[in-house]
Amino acid sequence: MAGEPYYLTTPIYYVNDVPHIGHAYTTLACDALARFMRLDGRDVFFLTGTDEHGQKVEQAAAAAGITPQALADKNSARFRDLARDMGYSNDDFIRTTADRHIRAVQQLWRELVKRGEIYLGKYSGWYSVRDEAFFAEKELIKGPNGKLLAPTGTGAEVEWVEEPSYFFRLSAWGDRLLKFYDDNPGFIAPESRRNEVISFVKGGLQDLSVSRTTFSWGVPVPDDPAHIMYVWIDALTNYLTATGYPDETSDGYRKYWPADLHMVGKDILRFHAVYWPAFLMGAGVAPPKRVFAHGWWTNEGQKISKSLGNVIDPYDLVAKYGRDQVRYFMLREVPFGNDGDFSHAAMVQRANGDLANGIGNLAQRTLTLIQKNCDAKVPAPDALNDSDKALLARAGMLIDELRGHMTAQEFHKALQAVLAVVSEADGYIDANAPWALRKTDSVRMATVLFVLAETIRNVALVMQPFTPEAAGKILDQLAIDEGARDFNQLGEARRLVPGTALPAPKGVFPRIDDPAKA
């Protein structure tokens, strides 16, 4: 596995939006996974970026009295800043207005035309500007005012559109897609989303309109610039663009495509799990290996919306609770893939219970005991008894459990496994009481503190993808060199060296005692 490529992507975020908790959540999940895979020796390529074309951008720019490009430049920068300010470790940031992307999507289009997958016709049907999506009449929802709405949960009104259009022969791909899903059962996750997609495809597919003539802000169709490519064939191609496509001999393309994981919100799963693999296979390109659709957040039990004024600003959360605490809460609070509710009380409970009283307290009291009773040096262990060996083995083998959970995007289970080891260590320290052994058996005290310090080292190493700043501070307090922090260092072979001088310990997860924050 060492050195094996791993390519994962966020969806590209639409520049008409303001960065909010949903954007931060998706990118955070990818960041934790990217960090984990890097520490596990994989050659990771982590992509995020912005989707900058479409009718909404053109309309918003006109309303603001600026060009669509100026609006895209301004708003794209907000998402680039979000990735930087949240400490995300993406390797590339792509924009669909970039020349490299326009070349890629036009080449994909040409390939589809060459293979007979695209034809010119006329489109008549229902279109949602907000969702940039077409819908069959049977899918629409009648609103309280009698107007027809998109079925996406956005509440967007649809309008009847008639115009010349190029079409992708999606209707011919139903059986082939179903066979692809059967042959690749892990392609769509979680299982409930997979079932939704299969049901949709079994319901019958219609040819998909893939160009528009009623606006101009987008990628022109090759050889017919009166047509602008449908935003989804444009946007989805970004995942290919970043690898170097259309140069299929490039190092990036040969190394990273097909992508290992597209992480998306559940509202855009259809585009990624139905249209995208059909586009790719229609052009003779391998589809991605996996698409994972996560759920949405509510705020204190209420749906998040601008009209309610309860949009969650990730910057506010970090300022209030800390970056690592927010990272931990969002990955631990709900099973990844499900909808989740954000509450300040739950945030405080996780920050105090799991982090301050759990990992932080174990590290603080162990290292303080070492500082006071072992000359501020890693203690030298004597012969290990069964309880010593059991805890060390449990901590050293933690990575095996985490690999399975992270591959399945079960972040909450990975963190549960880490906290289980911390709980075992808490039981061990209470049972052995090294503060009492100081007076009766200093040799045994040193052994117990060594076992605890070594357990903390293993816990801190595997917590780096989730709470990178705090985990790094714990490793600093254990005098672990920067170059000795990957997962090859886990277990018995790389244990702490007795006699190593340790700095004075400091708490890394302060308790949140301000009741206003709850």
273-293 pLDDT, tens per residue?
999 999 999 999 999 999 999
Task: Supply the pLDDT for residue 21.
Answer: 86
Q: Supply 152's token pair.
A: 């996406």
Task: Report d(CA 455, CA 424) in Å as an integer.
Answer: 10
Q: Which helix (H) or strand (E) holds 193?
A: helix 191-202
pLDDT band at 516 (very low <50, low <70, confident <90, very high): low
pLDDT at 360 over 50: yes
Task: Supply the pLDDT for residue 230.
Answer: 86
Alpha helices (H) in 267-384, listed in sequence order: 269-270, 276-282, 314-321, 323-332, 344-350, 361-373
State the DSSP code for 122. E
Mean pLDDT of 337-365: 94
- In our burial notation (b when 16+ CB lie closer than 10 A, e otherwise), range 7-23 reads bbbbbbbbbbeebbbbb
State the DSSP code for 381. P
Mean pLDDT of 170-190: 98
Mean pLDDT of 339-355: 93
Task: Supply the pLDDT for residue 457.
Answer: 98
3-state secondary structure of 291: strand
Mean pLDDT of 466-475: 98
pLDDT at 153 over 70: no
Share of the chain above pLDDT 90, in %: 82
Q: State the pairing for strand pair 92-95/43-51.
A: parallel
Task: Report d(CA 337, CA 296) in Å as an integer.
Answer: 9
Rg of the chain's alpha carbons, rounded to an integer?
26
pLDDT at 462 over 60: yes
pLDDT at 336 over 60: yes
**Whose CA is closest to 388, among 466, 345, 448?**
448
**Whose CA is closest to 381, among 463, 437, 458?**
437
Task: Supply the pLDDT for residue 206.
Answer: 94
What's the pLDDT tens digit per position in 369-418? 999 999 999 999 999 999 999 999 999 999 999 999 999 999 999 999 99
Q: Average pLDDT over the chain, rounded to whole?
A: 94
What's the pLDDT tens digit per position in 84-100? 999 999 999 999 999 99
What's the pLDDT tens digit per position in 103-137? 999 999 999 999 999 999 988 878 887 777 778 78
Task: Report d(CA 274, CA 294) in Å as an integer.
Answer: 17
Task: Supply the pLDDT for residue 518.
Answer: 47
Judged on CB neighbours under 10 Å (0-12, 13-18, 19+), 306 is exposed
- In our burial notation (b when 16+ CB lie closer than 10 A, e otherwise), range 188-217 reads bbbeebbebbbebbeeebebbbbbbeebeb
What's the pLDDT tens digit per position in 382-395? 999 999 999 999 99
